Amino acid sequence: MPISLDLFGREGFMKAARRASEVLKRWVSSGEPITIISHVDADGITAASIIASCLYRLEVPFRARIVPWLDRDMVEELASGPEGPIVFTDIGSSYMNLLAEGLGTREVLVLDHHPPVGKPPPGWVEVNPHNHGLDGTSDVSGAGVAYLVVREFGDEMRDLAPLAVIGALGDLQDRREDRSLGGLNEIAVEDAVGLGLVEVSKDLVFYGRETRPIHKAMAYTSSPYIPGISYQEDNAFAVLAKAGIKVKEDDRWRTVSDLSEEEKKRLLDTIAGFLASRGHSPELVNKLVGTVYTLVGEEPWTPLRDAREFASLLNACARMEKPDVGIAVCMGDRSRGLEEALSLLEEYRSRLARCFAKMQEPGVVEELGRLVVVHGGSWMSDRMVAAVASIVSSGMAGSGKVLVVYAFEEDGKHAKISARVPPEGPEIDIGALMRDLAARFSGLGGGHDVAAGARIPADSVSDFIRALGEALGKAEARKS
Ligand SMILES: [Mn+2]
């Protein structure tokens, strides 16, 4: 296949974004209602909100639907649903064959950053960094792709840039020096800074560093997950005491931003010691210092002020199956929508806190060779399995292990299983493994190379986990 050089790199990507914006402009001028389909996470919610805000301003009717994945049934439903063009954001490229088959005759844009599988049918425009030799995990997120498309409409869309920053952070794209955003994400950062909407600085990345008591800020931090401290206020409090840091000044709780440089250093050293004493890598503390993105127009004391916290608010909406609330907040709702989002966040956090408290009990977390197993059994809600797996695995970077979390569904007949390959983990396609194994145990499974899930009969769980451990061993042996 000939490789066209003008497709390559940033220029090639921007050309595709421009083409997509031309298509979108054409749809806008026809006035037909536009359907937005996006992915159920912080990046997907911000991506959908960017397109929705653009259409709202141009007075074009739209509907948005947030989905966890795409399958044949969903595509058929879309095909038989309302007419009109469809924009996929943060999802679609990996399902191109399925989409082409079911929606080939429709007008479609795919604005995604996941690895493409298959080619778009004639007439469709796909904007995806992978098509231009760029990196979909750190150069641009789904929200960034959507932003770079609507940016072509003119300067009046540039105030949507903070949403692209939030989406990229929600997608954990802060992989450059000092946990900063880079690549095409930088365009959104520069636009947001240029408009005075975002300030970039360097600090401890604890959540609520300007607003919460320090031990709460530490316990609220889940990116990265700090084993023993995330979701565990009492341990955070104990670490502060050990570091000899005053938590109150007169009657007022101090915040992370009140700490002197010397105190910050002492705190990090003490956390490193705490991690080491529990058998975790103390290197993790390096990830606690980094670039922070402050949305200066947002009220202090709300989680909207810090872009990472904003992303975790959206993530909570997604995990609590209310992504529409997240979209409302992204589109500017600071009354009822925000109130509802805050209570979803509270509920989500307390569920997680219960899970992490339980995981301190003996026998709940077990190491079985290359596997770390969290036995969620019937105490963990099956709806928390994926969230717990994602958070715990983010704290297992470089451990060389694979994480499995399972819980039984309410009726006790089935189990939900989530598996994760942590960052810098073994090179294994966990999605394929889970799919094959689930089928062997008369269940259903699948996913990506680093994150996958399955649903199988409850009484097969221990056999399933044993088989997964063996399969991992074989996959490793094949490689060496
Ligand atoms: Mn994404």
3-class secondary-structure state, position 312: helix
- In this prediction, residue 302 carries a pLDDT of 87
Same domain, 298 and 385: no
Nearest to 134 by CA among 125, 145, 120: 145
Centre of ligand 1 to C-alpha 442, Å, is: 31
Ligand 1 is an ion; its neighbours by CB within 5 Å are 43, 90, 141-142, 171
Average pLDDT over the chain, rounded to an integer: 93
Q: Does the pLDDT of residue 3 top 60, yes or no?
A: no
What DSSP letter does each residue of 246-277 carry, written as one string? Answer: -SEETTEEP-GGGS-HHHHHHHHHHHHHHHHH
Centre of ligand 1 to C-alpha 40, Å, is: 9
Residue 305 CA to residue 296 CA, distance in Å, equals: 7
Same domain, 123 and 10: yes
- In this prediction, residue 427 carries a pLDDT of 87
Contact (CB, 8 A) for 55 and 113: no
What is residue 5's DSSP assignment?
G
Residue 308 CA to residue 395 CA, distance in Å, equals: 17
Centre of ligand 1 to C-alpha 427, Å, is: 21
Centre of ligand 1 to C-alpha 190, Å, is: 20
Centre of ligand 1 to C-alpha 366, Å, is: 31
Centre of ligand 1 to C-alpha 249, Å, is: 41
Same domain, 128 and 92: yes
Centre of ligand 1 to C-alpha 91, Å, is: 8
Contact (CB, 8 A) for 279 and 367: no
Centre of ligand 1 to C-alpha 323, Å, is: 14
Centre of ligand 1 to C-alpha 314, Å, is: 13
CB atoms inside a 10 Å sphere around CB 379: 13
What is residue 352's DSSP assignment?
H
Contact (CB, 8 A) for 149 and 47: no
Centre of ligand 1 to C-alpha 135, Å, is: 12
Centre of ligand 1 to C-alpha 90, Å, is: 5
Centre of ligand 1 to C-alpha 113, Å, is: 7
Q: Is 195 exposed, middle or buried (0-12, 13-18, 19+ CB in 10 A)?
A: middle
Q: What's at 163, amino acid-wise?
A: L
Q: Region of 196 please: left (phi>0), alpha (psi -120 to 50) or beta.
A: left
pLDDT per residue as tens digits for the range 409-468: 999 999 999 999 988 888 888 989 999 999 999 999 987 788 899 999 999 999 999 999
Same domain, 127 and 75: yes
Contact (CB, 8 A) for 392 and 374: yes
Please report where in the chains the tokens 């709702």 appear, as a residue.
333
3-state DSSP of 90-133: CCCHHHHHHHHHHHCCCCEEEECCCCCCCCCCCCCEEECHHHHC
- Which of 181, 196, 211 terminates a domain? The answer is 196
* Domain CATH for 469: 3.10.310.40
Average pLDDT over residues 181-192: 98
Phi, psi for 186 (deg, rounded to 5)? -65, -30
Same domain, 433 and 344: no
Contact (CB, 8 A) for 110 and 116: no
Centre of ligand 1 to C-alpha 62, Å, is: 21
Same domain, 238 and 268: yes
Centre of ligand 1 to C-alpha 141, Å, is: 5
Radius of gyration of the CA atoms of the chain, in A: 23
Centre of ligand 1 to C-alpha 43, Å, is: 5
pLDDT per residue as tens digits for the range 53-103: 999 999 999 999 999 888 889 999 999 988 899 999 999 999 999 999 999
- In this prediction, residue 1 carries a pLDDT of 44
Residues near 434 by beta carbon (within 8 Å), at least 6 away in sequence: 417, 419, 445, 446, 447, 452, 453, 454, 468
* Domain CATH for 147: 3.90.1640.30
Go through the chain and tell me how many residues it has: 480
Contact (CB, 8 A) for 374 and 388: yes
Q: Which two tokens stand for residue 313?
A: 């608010």
Centre of ligand 1 to C-alpha 424, Å, is: 19
Q: Region of 59 please: left (phi>0), alpha (psi -120 to 50) or beta.
A: left
- In this prediction, residue 339 carries a pLDDT of 98
Phi, psi for 168 (deg, rounded to 5)? -65, -40
Centre of ligand 1 to C-alpha 144, Å, is: 9
Centre of ligand 1 to C-alpha 110, Å, is: 13
Same domain, 177 and 224: no
Work out the pLDDT band at 2, boundaries 50, 70, 90: very low
Same domain, 41 and 165: yes
Same domain, 224 and 246: yes
- Domain hosting 405: range is 365-479
Centre of ligand 1 to C-alpha 46, Å, is: 9
Centre of ligand 1 to C-alpha 321, Å, is: 17
pLDDT per residue as tens digits for the range 381-393: 998 999 999 999 9
Q: Is the peptide bond before 224 cis (omega within 30 degrees of 0)?
A: yes
Same domain, 241 and 378: no
Centre of ligand 1 to C-alpha 142, Å, is: 5
Element housing 199 (H / E): strand 198-204
Centre of ligand 1 to C-alpha 8, Å, is: 22
3-class secondary-structure state, position 378: coil
Same domain, 102 and 224: no
Centre of ligand 1 to C-alpha 138, Å, is: 11
- Which of 312, 338, 358 terminates a domain? The answer is 358
Nearest to 184 by CA among 134, 120, 229: 134
Work out the pLDDT band at 5, boundaries 50, 70, 90: low
Please tell me whether the overall predicted TM-score, pTM, comes out greater than 0.85 for this model.
yes
Centre of ligand 1 to C-alpha 165, Å, is: 12
Q: Which two tokens stand for residue 216?
A: 């709460």
pLDDT per residue as tens digits for the range 146-157: 999 999 999 999
Of all residues in the chain, the percent with pLDDT exceeding 90 is 82
Centre of ligand 1 to C-alpha 292, Å, is: 20
Show the beta-strand stretches assigned E in 303-401: 365-368, 371-375
Show the beta-strand stretches assigned E in 303-408: 365-368, 371-375, 402-408
Q: Residues 345-349: contacts with CB within 8 Å, 24+ apart? A: 345/303, 345/312, 345/313, 345/316, 345/317, 347/320, 348/316, 348/319, 348/320, 348/387, 349/220, 349/231, 349/316
Same domain, 389 and 353: no
Centre of ligand 1 to C-alpha 171, Å, is: 5
- Which of 150, 169, 196 terminates a domain? The answer is 196
Q: Does the pLDDT of residue 480 top 70, yes or no?
A: no
Residues near 433 by beta carbon (within 8 Å), at least 6 away in sequence: 419, 452, 468, 471, 472, 475
* Number of structural domains in the chain: 3
- Strand 86-89 relative to strand 34-39: parallel, antiparallel, unpaired? parallel
Centre of ligand 1 to C-alpha 274, Å, is: 33
Centre of ligand 1 to C-alpha 414, Å, is: 29
Contact (CB, 8 A) for 145 and 88: no
Average pLDDT over residues 230-234: 92
- In this prediction, residue 71 carries a pLDDT of 87
pLDDT per residue as tens digits for the range 289-341: 999 999 999 998 889 999 999 999 999 999 999 999 999 999 999 999 999 99
- In this prediction, residue 465 carries a pLDDT of 97
Residue 215 CA to residue 409 CA, distance in Å, equals: 34
Centre of ligand 1 to C-alpha 357, Å, is: 30
Centre of ligand 1 to C-alpha 4, Å, is: 27
CB atoms inside a 10 Å sphere around CB 23: 19
Contact (CB, 8 A) for 275 and 235: no
Residues near 11 by beta carbon (within 8 Å), at least 6 away in sequence: none
Residue 285 CA to residue 218 CA, distance in Å, equals: 12
